Amino acid sequence: MHEAIPLNAPQARSKDIDLTMYIYSDNAGDKQNRRSSSALLIYMISALLMWLPKKHATIETSVFGAEFVAMKVSIS
């Protein structure tokens, strides 16, 4: 993503910072109740900044559904 920089913004004093987000989705990984889980990993300059595991509240019947729920959780 790129952000529009205002004309009156001060000059940058350092290099750009890379911020990367990975989303992991496991469809029906819990063997007892068949619920899906996901994990959100946020890296800043190759260092892990945040790790957020989450078990989904719903039971998904497809891998696409589990990945869609994981992406929805990551942006909210």
Give me the domain span that covers residue 36: 19-75
Q: Do 35 and 59 form a contact (C-beta atoms < 8 A)?
A: yes
Q: Do 74 and 21 form a contact (C-beta atoms < 8 A)?
A: yes
pLDDT along the chain (76 residues), means of 10: 84 83 75 75 87 72 70 69
Q: For residue 21, which of 41, 45, 38, 1 has the smallest C-alpha distance?
A: 41
Query: What's the predicted TM-score (pTM) here?
Result: 0.54
Query: Do the domain assignments include residue 43?
Result: yes
Query: Do the domain assignments include residue 8?
Result: no
Query: Do the domain assignments include residue 61?
Result: yes
pLDDT for res 61 = 67
Query: Do the domain assignments include residue 3?
Result: no
Q: State the Cα angle at 20 between 14 and 24, rounded to 5°.
A: 165
Query: Do the domain assignments include residue 2?
Result: no
Q: Average pLDDT of the chain?
A: 77
Taking the alpha carbons at both ends of the chain, their separation in whole angstroms is 17
Query: Do the domain assignments include residue 13?
Result: no
Task: Give the number of domains in the chain.
Answer: 1
